[in-house]
Amino acid sequence: MVLGMKIIISILAVLVILAAGIFTGLNLTGQISGKSEIIEGPLESIPHLSTVGFAKAEINVEPAVIYLTSDCYRLAMITNELQTYSIEMGLNNVRGFRPLTHDLIYDIIDIFGIEPLMVKIESLNDGTYFAKVLLKQGNKILNMDSKPSDAIAIAVRTNTSVYIKQTLLEENGERIC
């Protein structure tokens, strides 16, 4: 009888430890627990967020031209006047009578608590520049394909840094100092 009780208590103890362990494991991943608290690892370990080989760019516009300036290089990107108008509105923190598409995107980002991480202009293919907008919400990061002009229009509204690949800047930009 005593032996039987001991066995039952031992099995129960093992099951309790097992359940506690599984529950803890699930909880820490933030996947199944349903709780809002999410424990995150350091973002530095994520290669998508690395800015090694990239230069932080300052943005200026003229009608249909976006200028990215960093150190002694200035790169001009040709776009259309609607895009540069939107970027200029964002740079000046001005909204029009009715919201532009990029204003709507900003509102979504702002209201839903999405954190813009950065914009990266990564490549040039057949005369077209390719950019990524990196957004974060909770433990999810969206590394989103974008036209540079759209990415920049979002970046200037959300005070997000714009990075351009150093080699793109040097090979396609103009040396200004």
Partner 1 sequence: MKRIFISFTVAAIVLISYYTGVFFGSKTVYIYNETVIKSSEPIVFRPYSNLTNIPNASMAKIIVPAVDDSGRGIATNLTVQVVPGSGKALVNIDKLLFWVDTQNSIRTARSVAERMLNMNISDYDIVFAIEANATVIEGPSAGAAMTVATVAALGNKSINRSVMITGTIKPDGTIGLVGEILAKANAAKDIGAKTFLVPVSQSVVTTYELRKHCEKIGWTEICTTETVPRKIYVANETGINIVEVANIGEALKYLINY
Q: What does the CA dihedral 44, 48, 52, 55 come to, rounded to 10 degrees?
A: -120
Report yes or no: 40 and 145 within 8 Å, Cβ to Cβ.
no
Burial (CB < 10 A; 0-12, 13-18, 19+), residue 28, is exposed
CA distance 82 to 88: 10
In angstroms, give the least distance from the CB of 109 to partner 1. Answer: 16
Q: Which tokens belong to 84? A: 């540069």
Task: Give the number of residues written for the chain.
Answer: 177
Does residue 108 belong to the site contacting partner 1 (CB under 8 A)? Answer: no
Q: Which residues within the stretch 5-64 sit at the binding site for partner 1 (CB under 8 A)? A: 14, 17-33, 38-43, 45-48
Q: Which is nearer to partner 1, 7 or 72 (CB)?
A: 7
In angstroms, give the least distance from the CB of 134 to partner 1. Answer: 9
Single out the residue of 64, 85, 141, 172 in contact with partner 1 (rule: CB under 8 A).
Answer: 141
Q: Which is nearer to partner 1, 80 or 139 (CB)?
A: 139
Name the site residues for partner 1 (rule: CB under 8 A).
14, 17-33, 38-43, 45-48, 132, 139-145
